[in-house]
Amino acid sequence: MRSLGGNPTQAQLKSIISEEKLTAPFDFPRFLDLMAKHMKPEPFDRQLRDAFKVLDKDNTGFVSVSDLRHILTSIGEKLEPSEFDEWIREVDVGSDGKIKYEDFIARMVAK
C-alpha cells in the first residue's frame, strides 16, 4: 500500500481487515479494489503546499523564483525550462525575485 501512495496506520489496516472480513490471502485485483475503496489520495494542492513549505524555511509564504526553477527543472519529473517560464509568467514576481507560493499553487491546480 505504501509503495502506491497509501500510508495507513495500523489501526486503519485493522479496520479495513475487519470491515472487509479478510481472513486469507487475496489476489491483486482484490487488493486494487481495496486500495480504491479505502485509500483516498492526498489533494494535489496539499502536496504542493507541503513541498513549498520545505523551501520556505522562515514560513513567510514566499519562495525565490531561482530556487523554484532549479528544483522544478532538475529534480524528479523535470519541467522543461520553457514550461517553467510559461507558468511563472502567470504569477506576480516581486522585485525581490520571490513569489507568493499560494498564487503559484492556485495556477498549477487550475491547469
For the chain, the distance separating the N- and C-terminal CA atoms, rounded to the nearest angstrom, is 29
Please, which residues have CB within 8 angstroms of residue 65's CB and are 6 or more apart in sequence?
88, 93, 97, 98, 99
Span 11-35, average pLDDT: 83
pTM: 0.54
Query: For position 98, what pLDDT does the model report?
Result: 94
- DSSP states of 73-104: HHSSSPPPHHHHHHHHTTSPBPTTSEEEHHHH
pLDDT in tens, 50-87: 888 888 989 999 999 998 888 888 887 788 999 888 88
Mean pLDDT of the chain: 83
Q: Predicted confidence band at 5 (pLDDT cuts at 50, 70, 90)?
A: low
Is the domain spanning 44-110 CATH 3.40.47.10? The answer is no
H helix or E strand, kind and range, residue 9: none
Instruction: Spell out the domain ranges in the chain.
Output: 2-38, 44-110
Beta bridge partners of 62: 100
